[in-house]
Structure formats: C-alpha cells, structure tokens
Amino acid sequence: MEITKVGINEIHNLDELIDISDNGTAFCYNYFLKLKKVKYLLKIEEDDKLLCLFPLFENGSKVEQSTMYVPYGGPVLFINKYSYRRAVLLQRQIIYELIKYLQNHYEEICFSCDTSMTDVKSFVNLKIVPEVRYTYKIDLTQTLEEIVNNFSKDRKKDLRKAKKYYLELIFDDNLQLFDVNKALIWESKYGEESSTNFVEEYLKESIKNSKGKIFVAKYNQEIVGGVAIVWDNNSAYIMYSYYNHDLDISTIPFLYNAIISYLKNETNCKYLDFEGSVFEEIEKWNLSFGAKQWLYFNYYWQKNNSEEIFKDLYDYGEK
C-alpha cells in the first residue's frame, strides 16, 4: 500500500472520482476544495488501484478541517467492490496508513468522517480522539406523502399557514434575490463567519455544476426568506438560510417542503441532510420534519500536550 501527497490539479477527474466513490461528499468536489484553498490531497493505492483520497485542509503544521464549515472532510474510499470481510479489513489498513502518515508529517490533526464511517477502532488504536456528533436526515426514497405524514403537527400546521398566505416560490439561480448577509447572521454569533464572497462563489459554482439550488420565498412583493442547498450523488445538504422573523407566515417550512419535492423530482439524492447540529433547539426543529438521527465522528490528535484536546470536547456554548 502506497501513500503519496499530490496536488489537487494532478487529479484531473476529481469530481468524477468523488461521484463513483463509496462515500465522497459535496465537500470534496474540486471547486469546493479550491475555494477553501486546499492545494493537496493524500492518495492511497495498492497495485495501481486507487483505494483512498484524503483532502488536506492544511494550516501550517496542522491538518485543520473546521467541521462547522466543512461537515464531512475525511477519507474518501474506493473499496466497495471488495467483499464485506475484505472491505472491513482493507478500510482499517487504509486508516492505519493514513493516520501514521499524518502523525509523521503534522503537529495537530482535526477532521471528520461522513456518516458511513463509524468504525472507530483503527483511529483509537493510534491514539486519535473521537468526538461523537449527530446530523439529521430525511429519507428521500419515501413518497412525498409519506415524508409529509412524518412531519409533526406543528410543521403540518405551518404548511397550511404558508398556503393561506400564498407564499410564492422562486428559484434564484443567478443569486439576485438571496441575501447572503442575512444567511450568515447565525455564523457571526456562534463562530468565525464565512466571507460573503466565499458563500456567493460557492453557491454560484454549485449551481453551475448542477450540484446546488437556491430557494426563495416571496410574500406581497417582498422576499421574506431563502434556503441554499448543495448536493452530491447521495445526499443534499441545507447550507444557508434566513427568514423575516417579523412575519409569522411559516417561511422555512414552506421552503423545506419545496426543497424535498424538488430533490425527489429533479435529483437522485437518497437523503436530505440537515447538516446537523448538537444544539438542542435545532435538533428539535430537525426532528419535527421527521428527520432521523445519524451518527458521525470528529477526530483529534496533537503531538504535544494531548490532554488539552479533552478540554474543548462537547463545549458547544450556549444556544
């Protein structure tokens, strides 16, 4: 098994590889990584067969993937073609080689795996600290009627209210109506805010590559809210949203319902991922749409003063 560090431009078909991988997500596409200023990936091969890609979110001597802005950025695997037994053992071997490489070349490591990678054994064996996280997903393989039936009473009431106020749905493919600044207010309160330029470029690139859409609600000739999503071949992700808090007209439930309908009719996505939160109130909100809880892990390691890692685990602040 051979591991090499390669420039992102050396992999000319990166997006195609992500789409055919076992677990590649929208946060590994070429245009997203470039906007995040990722220059290199680790590539693991065996007998000239590609087994794994790992985007390097480098910050000096650190691999530092911010899970607030890059939900899933861990190993991208290409081993599903093997038998289950072989795939389990091969994945552990891949993780071993990957982590040893990172530990030998960096002072600190921080990244998250997607929801399909819940085998922590290989990480723990190498003294990588796992932090349990959750996201919430709606199963889009259900019928639209089944999905809406799983909404809570309050969310069903919201849909009736939105219908009463005749909210108008607009697809803002040119990013002319969606207010990015309003969509970033939450981040400014609870973390380092993304730049407006980054969000605008990211959404434009996603739409250009047929991997994103912006849904805007209009009421009485006024834009009252919007939700921006991106997706890959498996899941769609709610990334940015806002609404007019002064109007009690159920804008977000209206837009979420429109998003679900669009994804079912226009894409092959199997899940709508709320790109979850550990804040209790947001968890309750996600659950009210019939979303189910999915487990994933953030991983941490540092060469020196490793006990400091445990001080900040699960320190999610107030909400």
Looking at residue 278, its pLDDT comes to 65
Rounded Cα gap, residues 87 and 70, in angstroms: 26
Evaluate whether 2-133+295-312 and 142-269 have a shared fold.
yes
Please state, in angstroms and rounded to a whole number, the distance separating the CA atoms of residues 182 and 269: 28
Residues of the chain with pLDDT > 90, as a percent, come to: 82
**pLDDT, tens only, 123-166:** 999 999 999 888 999 999 999 999 999 999 999 999 999 999 99
Please state, rounded to an integer, the average pLDDT across all residues of the chain: 92
Q: Residue 187: pLDDT above 80?
A: no
Q: 108-145 burial string, b = 16+ CB within 10 Å, else e?
A: bbbbbbbbebeebebbeebebbbbebebbbbebeeeee
Neighbours of 68 (CB within 10 A): 13
What percent of the chain has a predicted confidence (pLDDT) above 70? 91
Superfamily of domain 2-133+295-312: Gcn5-related N-acetyltransferase (GNAT) (3.40.630.30)
Question: Are the beta carbons of 216 and 5 closer than 8 angstroms?
Answer: no
Q: How confident is the model at residue 201 (pLDDT cuts 50, 70, 90)?
A: very high
Q: What local confidence, expressed as pLDDT, does residue 317 receive?
A: 44
Phi-psi region of 166 (alpha: psi -120 to 50; beta: other; left: phi over 0): left
**Cβ–Cβ < 8 Å for 298, 64:** no
Question: How far does Cα 288 stand from its chain's mean position?
Answer: 20
pLDDT digit string (tens) for 41-77?
A: 999 999 999 999 999 999 999 999 877 778 898 999 9
Q: What is the pLDDT of residue 196?
A: 87
Whether 70 contacts 133, CB under 8 Å: no
Q: Where are the domains of the chain?
A: 2-133+295-312, 142-269
How far is it, in rounded angstroms, from Cα 182 to Cα 244? 10
Q: Look at residues 289, 279, 277 and name the one whose alpha carbon lies nearest to residue 239.
A: 277
Burial of 149: CB neighbours in 10 Å, binned 0-12, 13-18, 19+: exposed
192 vs 3: which has the higher pLDDT: 3
Higher pLDDT, 278 or 84: 84
Copy the structure tokens of residue 118. 């819940």
- CA torsion angle for 139, 177, 250, 231 (degrees, to 10)? 10
Query: Tokens 């530990």 label which residue?
Result: 103
What tokens were used for 137?
């997903």
Task: Judge: domain 142-269, CATH 3.40.630.30.
Answer: yes
- Dump pLDDT digits (tens) for 106-123: 999 999 999 999 999 999
Distance CA 78, CA 101 (A): 19
